[in-house]
Structure 1
Amino acid sequence: MKYEQTIKGTFIRRLNRFIAEVQAGEKTERVHVKNTGRLKELLVAGAEVGLEISSNPGRKTKYSLVSVKKGDRWVNIDSQAPNAVVYDALMSGGIAELGPIRLLAREKAFGKSRFDLYYEGETEKGFMEVKGVTLEKDGVALFPDAPTARGTKHILELMEAAKEGYGAVLFFLVQMGGCRAFSPNREMDPPFAEALSKAAKEGVKILAYDAFVTEDEMVIGQPVRVMI
């Protein structure tokens, strides 16, 4: 996935969940932050950032903040990007654990639930929920970066799908390269970590991949070891 038009800027401060101030060229701009998470370890004063230029002339903010440079690597923080990247990877056969995909659909209902993706492959049909991961500590990617009752609910719903004979996949896309493993963030959200461990024992596939990221692009990378 590549953004059509981007420029680089320098992060100044975050005003609220949705808006930040960034130095873009000679101007200080208020920009849309495409992630409502905390991102405290990424959005620090002086950080180099990637800004997507809006194609909507009537929008209040001209730019959206989509990537941040942490050390020598870029981290994509666009919360809408993981679904698009995983969708493209599935369509091109880039996720070996699921094999060739014959049918792929977004936002598919199951009972009272709605999952990110529905897939049909050579050996199974099932549902997938995609989570983007932007938090890294000592080489380990961690999710979530804030308590998420919604995320735990998704795990329980996937367990129900697995019980009814469907494939059930929880896919963590680490929105950066260089992490040696993925783990649930037990310290931040114990119920999520406990639900994830239970789901793995009851037939839900837990997959994690990293990504190749630049300021204006993110594509699927390699599998990352899952530690539950």
Structure 2
Amino acid sequence: MDYVKGIFKNRPNRFIAEVEVDGKLEIAHVPNTGRCKELLVEDALVWLKPSDNPNRKTKFSLHFVENKGVLVSLFSQEANKIVYDAIVDGKIKELSGYDYHQREKTVDNSRIDIYLANHEDDCCGMNFLVEPCYVEVKGVTLIVDGEARFPDAPTERGAKHLKELIKLKKEGKRCVVFFLIQHPIGKSFRPNWENDPIFSQTLNDAYDAGVEILVYGCDNQLSGIELIPESLDFDLGQSLSNSIIND
């Protein structure tokens, strides 16, 4: 189904947006719980996916917003699928070589986005999984001075996931936190110390514990989104700058 062009007008709460479509005000679901205040500004051009469910309260979902001449993906759950598909297709060299791929692996009271492992036969011909790798994916849309920052709003859930990775790492498992930059302007990554010092410090703790950090960008087109197979730099320290690119 093709996208529908709209004009953003207002966001009454984090779940919905008021958008103008063909001169008529419509209500659209926002599939991103982040603030996105530097992106969802009045009269911003947005791209909506129509719903074919007649029982749904909102007629559209807001998938893209145009910012600085590029498309920014606001469909946060899509980040997990993009990374998963890229792993399966062998586009992420750091996560290649696994023959078992699973989305949403339950660990204690958390769900880790991606679980990787390898099949191995024992001496009795029984097959089991070895060399487990847990990957938590975070989609990033906030850009500050050319750097991607996460999160754009405090996230206790995000810090919880990092603590789960630290625990798994201490048990001898390979663990990765994967930041997918969904705004094409972002060319590197830094945690958002200004908005969420707890998450930022926990990310540093995770890295010190041996949890790997991967940062990649993606190519956003209305015809589809694909991961760009080239890792990007990151810096875990605090920044003195607090100037968003839209200011």
TM-score computed with the length of structure 2 as normaliser = 0.86
Of 136, 161, 165, the match for 1:129: 136
Q: Equivalent residue for 1:76?
A: 73
Native 8 Å contact 2:215 2:231 kept in 1: yes
Tell me the matched-pair count: 225
Provide the rounded CA distance (Å) in 1 between the counterparts of 2:46 and 2:173. 41
Measured against aligned partners, the alpha-carbon deviations of 1:89-136 in whole angstroms (never above 9, x if no partner) come to 111011111123311111212234321111015993211111111101
Greater relative contact order, per chain length (Cα 8 Å cut-off, separation 6+): 1
1:1-228 equivalences in 2 (<5 Å): 4-121=1-118, 124-215=131-222, 217-221=224-228, 222-228=230-236
Measured against aligned partners, the alpha-carbon deviations of 1:112-163 in whole angstroms (never above 9, x if no partner) come to 4321111015993211111111101111000001111111111111011111
Matched letter for residue 42 of structure 1: L
Provide the rounded CA distance (Å) in 1 between the counterparts of 2:196 and 2:51. 35
Q: Per the alignment, do residues 20 and 113 of structure 1 end up closer, same or farther by CA in structure 2, a change over 3 Å counting?
A: closer
Native 8 Å contact 2:143 2:185 kept in 1: no
Matched letter for residue 91 of structure 1: V
Percent identity for Structure 1 against Structure 2: 45
TM-score computed with the length of structure 1 as normaliser = 0.93
Deviation at 1:12, TM superposition (A): 1.0
Provide the rounded CA distance (Å) in 1 between the counterparts of 2:102 and 2:28. 32
Provide the rounded CA distance (Å) in 2 between the counterparts of 1:47 and 1:215. 17
Matched letter for residue 211 of structure 2: V
Provide the rounded CA distance (Å) in 2 between the counterparts of 1:60 and 1:150. 27
Matched letter for residue 144 of structure 1: P
CA RMSD of aligned residues (A): 1.6
Q: Per the alignment, do residues 188 and 152 of structure 1 end up closer, same or farther by CA in structure 2, a change over 3 Å counting?
A: same
Measured against aligned partners, the alpha-carbon deviations of 1:54-107 in whole angstroms (never above 9, x if no partner) come to 121221211100110111111101121111111111110111111233111112
Measured against aligned partners, the alpha-carbon deviations of 1:157-182 in whole angstroms (never above 9, x if no partner) come to 10111111111010111112132210
- Secondary structure at the aligned position of 2:32 is classed as coil
Provide the rounded CA distance (Å) in 1 between the counterparts of 2:22 and 2:191. 39
